[in-house]
Amino acid sequence: MKIGIFGGTFNPPHRGHMEAAAQTIRALGLDKLLVIPDFVPPHKEMPAGSPEGRERLELCRLAFGHVKHCKVSDMELARGGVSYTVDTLRRVRERYPTDRLYLLMGTDMLLSFTQWREYREIAKLATLAVFARREEDRGAVVRAAADLRSRLNANVKVVPIHAVDVSSTLVREELTRRRGCDLLPEDVYGRIVKLRLYGAKPDFAWLRKKAYAMLDPKRVPHVAGCEEEAARLAKRWGADEEQAREAGILHDITKKEKLDEQLRLCEKYGIILDEMERSEGKLLHAKTGAGIAKYEFGCDDEVYGAIYWHTTGHEDMTLLEKVIYMADYIEPNRDFPGVEELRRLAYTDLDGALELGFKMSIEDMRSRGIVPHERTLGALAYITAARS
């Protein structure tokens, strides 16, 4: 068999890694490609905030699971210590004593190859399968390959792949700017956002796509309107606009779920309910939506609270909670008696808008024979006292 070995930190694994793997497998006719994340890389320090090895292994499994003939191995993680390539190749050779081994490496690895531990032994153990990460590197790769053949009598194969010019460093930088989802496999990006690895913040377009897929299509205009209203209110009153957008996008993601599903989600996320909430699904969507926002999309506690309280409100609300409560109430698609006065107050007297909003909500529920939640009553009493 022809077996490839593709090592690295994969911090995180991105589309460039996947394309290099897939194209090299085809070009060399590999029967298997072992993807082996480092435990401790020998030639560089891991950037601050990098996930530990087991998490990088999981990201690799998600990334390369879609690439035919790839198998992700925990060989170096299980061994521990500094991940020297020569040790890994010896281990692979023990497992596959008669098979032909190919060590994949990109431009940077190739140009530093003679600084590696026991590089001469590496050249004996495996054919070096080298590729250029950038088109402009191709000449340097060809020259370096020729030099290694001459100096070491090494087997070096230049793999003619169409390189994807992306690095893990670039991906990490993009993730903190709400970008980079196009540079990563969908599953990898989703997990990074869920765990907020690398300081990642979700791309808003990606987050909308995910949230809208969970909604009744008729609710999408409301959610889009709530997001924009929340951002405007946040800007007006000095709240975090990006947090306001996250909360606006996600605030109704479980709105269409029936009571039994709402209760299941409450149990899953450890949400404690009172007597009224257990029998009223409309009250639960705020809490279950907050649970999904936090545990599936990695939202912080501020956003969690803003979603959690956007239906009932509560005493002494935070600024972001007030912004989301009012944005949900007055977004442009809302049309009911008194909404224009609420909109005016929301931009001139936020607490005055909240007080009026609580009164209107309580009056509406009572007119329909619904008992208002005690937290809404408490929220109204609190804000009225604070304003007196």
pLDDT one digit per residue (tens) for the chain, 388 residues? 999 999 999 999 999 999 999 999 999 999 999 999 999 888 778 888 899 999 999 999 999 998 999 999 999 999 998 899 999 999 999 999 999 999 999 888 888 889 999 999 999 999 999 988 777 778 888 888 888 898 889 999 999 887 777 889 999 999 999 999 999 999 999 999 999 999 999 999 999 999 999 999 999 999 999 999 999 999 999 999 999 999 999 999 999 999 999 999 999 999 988 878 777 767 899 999 999 999 999 999 999 999 999 999 999 999 999 999 999 999 999 999 999 999 999 999 999 999 999 999 999 989 988 889 999 999 999 999 998 8
User: Please, what CATH class does the domain formed by 2-166 belong to?
Assistant: alpha beta
Q: What b/e sequence results for 277-307 when a residue is b if at least 16 CB atoms lie within 10 Å of its CB, and e otherwise?
A: beeebebbbbbbbbbbbbeebbbeebbbbbb
Please name which of 213, 152, 153 lies closest in space to residue 186, comparing C-alpha atoms: 213
Residue 230 to residue 247: CA distance in whole angstroms: 8
Encoding tokens for residue 102? 């190919």
- CB 7, CB 88: distance < 8 Å: yes
Encoding tokens for residue 200? 């990642």
Intrachain domains 2-166 and 203-387 with the same fold: no
Please name which of 164, 103, 112 lies closest in space to residue 133, comparing C-alpha atoms: 164
Cis check for the bond before 47: say yes or no (omega within 30 of 0): no
The predicted pLDDT at position 306 comes to: 98
Residue 386 to residue 367: CA distance in whole angstroms: 27
Please name which of 307, 244, 302, 323 lies closest in space to residue 271, comparing C-alpha atoms: 307
Backbone angle region of 100, left / alpha / beta, with phi > 0 → left and psi within -120 to 50 → alpha = beta
pTM above threshold 0.75: yes
List the domain boundaries for the chain.
2-166, 203-387
Q: How many helices (H) and strands (E) does the chain have?
A: 20, 6
Superfamily name with CATH number, domain 203-387: Hypothetical protein af1432 (1.10.3210.10)
